[in-house]
Structure 1
């Protein structure tokens, strides 16, 4: 929301992290107990997946809490990147659990004959999928509103968990038709999907921490600045993500006949347009005089 205090954004993001933790605590307990009682490898794997998500969501919550700390002598830009680091830690936790799920599923496949799981476990998995879809919708809307990378990563994890539960249910239902091996195979799919989600979060986090920025979005920001009245040319523009904030450094060229006050007014207008259109309040504008290319520069000597 334009003009919203970034620290209020972070506090709002914490509600999403708590919603995920509460859902995962409930569902992991139900799935692990039901998976053991009903002899379902897929449901048990899904339960372990939710256990990893508790740790991942807790890491996001801790990161959000740290990022609320105000700027200090060692962190003049604040602690906003703590939530990105938390998302990176969460990706490691998810990857380790994904590998463990694959190992356990592989052992189950090679163990030989096994009874088909109770079909009730499939209905439990489908119910869990509906719960996680609701949590995903809530966190996705909240993350988009407050521009939180960490919470958006958590929302993607919520969606993958819903899909994992659907896949587990499909494997369990399939095992009822004389193919009990479908249940552990579904557990393998669960493990692979956990690893895929972990890789996506890892890539996004490291891209942000190394000051990577989407080229298409940068061109959109450039277009907004170029269309600002008084800007003759953009000499250079850079952008980076700092937690849930975008920081922009831009060098513009203006009519050299303009006064200092007029040049400053152009800078102010750029800042207003960036906040109003893109919800970006952190814009550093450097102004230089514009020089027309001379013929002597374009012709050879």
Structure 2
């Protein structure tokens, strides 16, 4: 299956999420307003934001399938990241509104105990979102798609939010009506926390940030490639669900051009096989005589296979 076919396959997960969120948000908002449950209403609005987030993932996946062109030689894979960034702003807006409503309910002098049916709706929703999480997480691992895996984690958080809403509603049945707005407050906090997580990861990727531990792992793989004496420099960045690596390796100056090229090919094969990274740009330089003494400072990792 090609990279673009993998992205196409990921659309199924986005559509599953959208369908589930539309049905559940409509159910929660209708029942929540009908039987006066602030926690269930907040959970319903949470799912409304998730529709936007899932739609953003879907649009991003669609744009990412466009092949490279004159203006986008690396392809359009970052459309996923931009879509997620837009979704984070929408989620934060709704989360803040839920928090404001919950605080107003808490400081109110009278509290209404919601009907028990709202708790059953919340629990039913938790089961549904758990099933959607299971489907999307399996699909994301199968096609190695980070955007879909992020959506799957959002599915899991939604299941937990629904469980929290149910707990607040059930607590209200036992003479603690304030638990319902408290549950709504927690839902609002979770929405804002999820929005911040998506915002941070998106901006980190768009500004070419990369995890240092992962870069160390990639460096170790290259350093153990036969023929590589030292690594002069290595950089990596995230491009949608892909990772692009630029590395400068030092080799024996007596090697021919063909032998040096074989080392480059082997590095590319190892990165693809061990880390599923296909975008590797390798630059080969001869190890100069005056660098022999500083070999360990360039590459402290032992040479291996």
Q: Classify the secondary structure of the residue corresponding to 1:266.
A: helix
Which residue matches 2:21?
24
Q: Classify the secondary structure of the residue corresponding to 1:135.
A: helix
Which residue matches 1:245?
242
CA contact (8 A) 1:251 1:285 kept: yes
2:226 to 204, 207, 229: 229
Q: CA deviation at 1:123?
A: 1.4
User: Do the aligned partners of residues 295 and 65 (structure 1) sit closer, same or farther apart at CA in structure 2, a change above 3 Å counting?
Assistant: closer
TM-score when normalising by structure 1: 0.94
1:154 to 151, 154, 162: 151
In the alignment, is residue 63 of structure 1 matched against residue 60 of structure 2?
A: yes
Please, which runs of 5 or more residues in structure 1 have no aligned partner?
none
CA contact (8 A) 1:40 1:172 kept: yes
Which residue matches 2:288?
291
Q: Classify the secondary structure of the residue corresponding to 2:284.
A: strand
User: Do the aligned partners of residues 164 and 262 (structure 1) sit closer, same or farther apart at CA in structure 2, a change above 3 Å counting?
Assistant: same
CA RMSD of aligned residues (A): 1.6
Which residue matches 1:15?
12
In the alignment, is residue 135 of structure 1 matched against residue 115 of structure 2?
A: no
Q: CA deviation at 1:124?
A: 1.1
Please, which runs of 5 or more residues in structure 2 have no aligned partner?
295-305
Q: CA deviation at 1:43?
A: 0.4
Q: Separation in 1 of the partners of 2:90 and 2:48?
A: 10
Q: CA deviation at 1:296?
A: 9.8
CA contact (8 A) 1:146 1:244 kept: no
Q: Separation in 2 of the partners of 1:296 and 1:216?
A: 27
Which residue matches 1:42?
39
User: Do the aligned partners of residues 251 and 167 (structure 1) sit closer, same or farther apart at CA in structure 2, a change above 3 Å counting?
Assistant: same
Q: Separation in 2 of the partners of 1:38 and 1:92?
A: 30
User: Do the aligned partners of residues 93 and 295 (structure 1) sit closer, same or farther apart at CA in structure 2, a change above 3 Å counting?
Assistant: closer
Which string of whole-angstrom CA distances, capped at 9 and with x for unpartnered residues, describes residues 95-129 of structure 1? 01101111111222223212211112111101101
CA contact (8 A) 1:24 1:50 kept: yes
Q: Where does 1:1-301 land on structure 2 (aligned, <5 Å)? A: 4-293=1-290
User: Do the aligned partners of residues 296 and 76 (structure 1) sit closer, same or farther apart at CA in structure 2, a change above 3 Å counting?
Assistant: closer
Which string of whole-angstrom CA distances, capped at 9 and with x for unpartnered residues, describes residues 227-248 of structure 1? 1100000100111111111111
Q: Classify the secondary structure of the residue corresponding to 1:235.
A: strand
CA contact (8 A) 1:116 1:180 kept: yes
TM-score when normalising by structure 2: 0.93
Q: Separation in 1 of the partners of 2:126 and 2:290?
A: 62
